A = this chain, B = another copy of it.
Amino acid sequence: MTEPGLLNEHEARAWYAFVGAAVSLDRRLDQQLKEDSGITHLQYVVLVRLDSAPDREMRMGALAETLHTTKSGLSYQIAQLEKAGLVRRRGCSGDPRAVYAVLTDDGRRMLEQAAPGHIAAVREFFLEAFTPEQLAVLADGLNEVARRARGEAAPSVTR
């Protein structure tokens, strides 16, 4: 049944749908955020992540890891956000090598201003295409996909 070297019709349909949805959605959300708030989706996600962290700050390395981006890419984006006044850097007294990115008050305001439109778009373009039950299945499956793609072992129940 499962040809090893080719995708069958059903597999191809799901796979192409995923890739197409990911690309189109990313473009659309980027466009929406740029038009309405002047920031990119990546920058928005950086702000969100900082906002939800204790004291609204995170170390560069940890932030890069949670965003699944490279350290150098994050350095660049934090520099952009710093220019825009939405984030500032501060060193760490304990470990002089560490650098914290801190969400500024302007950054928090930007988030408050940008969130409603962005979230409405996520609902309109993504969430509403599924039932709540489907979303739950989707979330489980996609978390597993992410784990596998990152080369992590499957989560064990006893862990």
Q: Which residues of A contact B (CB under 8 A)?
A: 4-7, 10-11, 13-15, 17-28, 45, 68-69, 115-116, 119-120, 122-130, 132, 134-146, 148-151
Contact = CB atoms under 8 A, between A and B. Distances in A.
B126 A28 contact: no
Contact of A142 (B10, B20, B26, B123): B20
Given A15-B122, A125-B145, A148-B124, A132 B10 contact: yes
B68 A20 contact: yes
B116 A4 contact: yes
A81 B6 CA distance: 23
Contacts of A148: 124-126, 128-129
B5 A136 contact: no
> How many of these chains are in the complex?
2
A134 B136 CA distance: 11
A10 to B, nearest CB: 6
B149 A21 contact: yes
B126 A21 contact: no
Contacts of A138: 14, 17-18, 138, 141
Contacts of A134: 137, 141
A19 B129 CA distance: 16
A126 B145 contact: yes
A138 to B, nearest CB: 5
Contacts of A21: 142-143, 145-146, 149
